[in-house]
Amino acid sequence: MKISISRSGITLLTIVSIWLASIMVLFHPTDLYDLAFPPKPIRVIFLVIMACNASAFSMALGIRHLLQKGSELKENQKMDWLKRGIILSFLIVLSTSLVSVYALVYEEDTESMTQTILNANNFYDPNSDILTDWNVNGSDTHFGAIDDGVRNTSIPLLTDYIYTSLKKVDEIGFPTPNESNIETIILWVYSSTGSNAKTTINLKNEGITQATLTINPGSPQGWRSTVWENPGSIGTITVEFIHDKGEGAPTNSNVYAAYLEVIFNPYS
- The whole-number pLDDT of residue 245 equals 83
pLDDT digit string (tens) for 204-221?
A: 999 999 999 999 999 999
- Mean pLDDT for the stretch of residues 14-18: 59
CB 151 within 8 A of CB 186: no
Number of helices followed by number of strands (H, E) in the chain? 5, 11
- At residue 80, does pLDDT exceed 60? yes
User: How do the domains of the chain map onto residue ranges?
Assistant: 7-117, 120-264
- The whole-number pLDDT of residue 28 equals 46
pLDDT digit string (tens) for 111-164?
A: 444 455 557 889 999 999 999 999 999 999 999 999 999 999 999 999 999 999
Residue 232: other Cβ atoms inside 10 A = 9
Q: How many CA atoms lie within 13 A of 65 on its CB side?
A: 14
Residue 29 DSSP one-character state: G
Comparison of pLDDT for 23 and 84, the residue scoring more: 84
- At residue 259, does pLDDT exceed 90? yes
- At residue 106, does pLDDT exceed 70? no
CB 235 within 8 A of CB 147: no
Handedness of CA 76, 81, 82, 84 (dihedral sign): positive
- At residue 244, does pLDDT exceed 70? yes
- At residue 44, does pLDDT exceed 60? no
- The gap from C-alpha 115 to its chain's centroid, in whole angstroms, comes to 7
CB 225 within 8 A of CB 176: no
CB contact set of 118 (below 8 Å; sequence gap of 6+): 34, 265, 266, 267
Ranking 4-18, 175-189, 241-255 by mean pLDDT, the lowest is 4-18
> How much of the chain exceeds pLDDT 70, in percent?
55
Residue range 120-264 in CATH 2.60.120.380: yes
Strand ranges for the chain from DSSP E: 120-124, 128-132, 135-137, 161-164, 169-174, 182-193, 197-205, 208-215, 222-229, 237-245, 253-264
Rg (CA), the chain: 30
pTM: 0.60
**Helix 39-69 with 7-26: angle, nearest 10 deg:** 150
Phi, psi torsion values for 229, nearest 5 degrees: -85, 145
CB 166 within 8 A of CB 243: yes
Max mean pLDDT among 50-54, 71-75, 85-89, 249-253 falls in: 249-253
